[in-house]
Amino acid sequence: MGPSEDRSEIAFFDVETTVPTRPGQGFAILEFGAILVCPRKLVELENYSTLVRPADLSLISSFSVRCNGITRDAVISAPTFGDIADKVYDILHGRIWAGHNILRFDCVRIRDAFAQINRPAPEPKGTIDSLALLTQRFGRRAGDMKMATLATYFGLGQQTHRSLDDVRMNLEVLKYCATVLFLESSLPDIFTENSWVSPNATTRSCSNGQTSPEGASINMVTPSPSMMLKKDSIPLSSTTNQTKEESHPIFSFMTHSTKAAVSTSVGSNITRSDPFNMGSLSNEMEREFTLPDVTRVENSKPEMPEASYSALLSDGSSSSMGYLQPDDICISSISASLVPFYRGCQRIGLFHKGVPFQICCTGLKVLFGISTKFVDHVGRPRLSFVVNASPNLCTVLDACNSTAQKLSLDSGSSSDWRHVVTRKEGFVNYPTVRLNIPTAECGNVAIYATEIYQKESSGALQRLIFSKFDAAELSTLFFPGTSVDAFFSLDPYDYQQSAGIRLVAKKLIIHCRS
């Protein structure tokens, strides 16, 4: 197709790259794959894929191979990026670009690759980033927003982390998501905006304060003005009087997503000049999906169902619940392996008897209250507090630490490892651990992604829901000497030459002093 002809096709593309293992090391493209899709019929018109030989083959480390399976031998006879630059430019330039997380990753890699060969990079007519788009419109009903998770949710098979397979899967995921949203928008009174919320949730209208019980196994309270009951779902807007173009599932999907992203008030009229303008959504994605936040919004919906307090503790050793008390953990049964994580990369996962596990500890004493020393990528405090660590908990965490650290080293990581248990000099008999309280985005509002409860002296358990992010208010709950029952996950991380295990609180039960 010549440059003067209409280039209305959507170019779904994906790159597979090496994984940097030391400071200052960049990415090298190992594979490029793309399909051209008709925007009216959503059918694949053309496809192109090729392996790419990087200038420095040593960049393909064992960890890189684990991420996408592309070895040095596989690319030794492949063309360089300079050899395929004309083809890549012809596919991408002047077309709409589409892909999963392309704004933060693939687009950057393409521009870097053209800069390295001193050639102008292709420019898009518009960009559709399905990570930002689906986060805004499809919400968390399918779990986290990784392509592999979305594909599993819709029964599309496993992600291969190869370019051509991934872009085809990306298109299919968009079709499925668009169809669901299209059906929901056609019957808003039946497919309610929070139809995927747990049936055990109890909600209160922000406008009238009336409680609508959908289950009452745990009482919900409002301990202070800024704490309130809040729906866990991202609202799904419905529209009427759509044009023919907007009624097209994919176009309707993209158009209303863009409107929602740039709308400043409910019911505001937005002039739709470019339905593919993802600027606002990309800004939101920048805020929410930055890699330094090891615990991102995927931790915002703890999997433990509502239950009585006694059930929470008695079921702590149940494999179906996923929470084990330290005494129930067999040290020799702790293992670690690499699991899919982000953009084809892998991270370390910890297992007990071959099953992912989380820990439940009762009666932990808060030694240092809420810390706001560190901030995330948008300047919001990263909340955490320090508790004492019992000998049996230390034994378990030490074993997890050793197992994960060994796998990290075997995988080629050169990051400095930080022990999950802190033993300060002179206080070796008083080990401590830090529990992290992750945050999540609910629309434009930051909320705590940890379920927080209060246990009254009578034994009654009440859930605290906060209407806004307020670290100062949270500090009044977690002060030194407070007794806390904690349900937490063990999340290995490796970022900016620092690696270790973070303890991420999924559920916290604060014991009120009598």
- The CATH number of the domain holding residue 416 is 2.40.50
Q: Is the pLDDT at 279 greater than 70, yes or no?
A: no
User: What's the full length of the chain, in residues?
Assistant: 514
> Is 164 domain-assigned?
yes
Q: What is the pLDDT of residue 189?
A: 66
User: Tell me: the pLDDT tens digits for 321-355?
Assistant: 568 999 999 999 999 998 876 555 678 999 999 88
CATH of the domain at 40: 3.30.420.10
CB atoms under 10 Å from CB of 432, counted, come to: 17
Q: Which two tokens stand for residue 41?
A: 């019929």
Report the C-alpha gap between 294 and 362 in whole angstroms.
Answer: 25
The neighbouring-strand residues paired with 128 are: 98
Active-site annotation holds for 256? no
Neighbouring residues of 432: CB distance < 8 A, sequence distance ≥ 6: 367, 386, 387, 388, 389, 421, 422, 424
Q: Higher pLDDT residue, 188 or 186? A: 186
For the cut 70, the answer to whether the pLDDT of residue 505 exceeds it is: yes
Q: Answer yes or no: do 343 and 491 share one domain.
A: yes
Structural domain boundaries, residue 46: 10-182
Compute the average pLDDT of residues 8-28.
89
pLDDT value at position 378?
Answer: 62
Name the more confident of 291 and 123: 123
pLDDT 10s digits, 45-69: 999 999 999 999 999 988 888 888 9
pLDDT for residue 118 is more than 90 = yes
In this structure, is residue 161 part of a structural domain?
yes
Most confident of 57-66, 120-129, 487-496: 120-129
Residue that terminates a domain, selected from 182, 202, 223 = 182
Asked if the structure places residue 290 within a domain, the reply is: no
CA 326/CA 444 separation, integer angstroms: 38
Average pLDDT estimate for 275-287: 40
Highest-scoring range by mean pLDDT, 190-204, 254-268, 434-448: 434-448
State whether 311 and 167 are in the same domain. no
> What are the beta bridge partners of residue 10?
37, 96
Question: What is the Cα–Cα distance from 123 to 132, expressed in whole angstroms?
Answer: 20
Inside any domain, residue 194: no
* Structural domain count, the chain: 2
* Higher-confidence position of 210 and 157: 157
Give me the chain's average pLDDT, please: 74
pLDDT value of residue 3 = 45
pLDDT at residue 64, as a whole number:
84
Total-model pTM: 0.45
**Domain limit, last residue, from 130, 154, 182:** 182
Structure confidence at residue 295 (pLDDT): 34
Residue 221 has pLDDT above 50, yes or no: no
| Helix orientation angle between 130-137 and 163-186, rounded to the nearest 10 degrees | 20
Q: Does a structural domain hold residue 189? A: no
pLDDT digits (tens, 9 = 90+) for 438-480: 887 655 667 788 889 988 877 888 888 777 777 788 888 898 9
Question: Which pLDDT band, with edges at 50, 70 and 90, does 6 fall under?
Answer: confident
Classify residue 200: in a domain, yes or no.
no
Q: Which of 149, 182, 215 is the last residue of a domain?
A: 182
Read off the pLDDT of each residue in 294-302 and give the average, rounded to a whole number.
34
Q: Which residue has the higher pLDDT, 229 or 260?
A: 260
Average pLDDT over residues 394-417: 90
Confidence label for 247 from pLDDT (cuts 50, 70 and 90): very low
Please indicate, yes or no, if residue 75 is contained in any of the structural domains: yes
Which letter, b or e, does each residue of 338-365 get, where b requires 16 or more Cβ atoms within 10 Å of its Cβ? bebbebbbbbbbbbbeeeebbbbbbebe
Tell whether the model's pLDDT for residue 246 goes beyond 70. no
Give CA–CA dist 473/271, Å, rounded: 41
- The catalytic position among 93, 100, 161, 419 is 161
> pLDDT: is 250 or 110 the higher one?
110
Query: How far is CA 83 from its chain centroid?
Result: 36
Which carries the bigger pLDDT value, residue 148 or residue 96? 96
Q: How confident is the model at residue 132 (pLDDT cuts 50, 70, 90)?
A: confident
Tell me the pairing of strands 126-129 and 96-99.
parallel
Most confident of 164-178, 226-240, 432-446, 457-471: 164-178
Reported as type and span, the H/E element at residue 487 is strand 483-495
Res. 234: pLDDT tops 80: no
pLDDT value of residue 191: 66
Identify the pLDDT of residue 164. 94
- Determine, yes or no, domain membership for 300: no
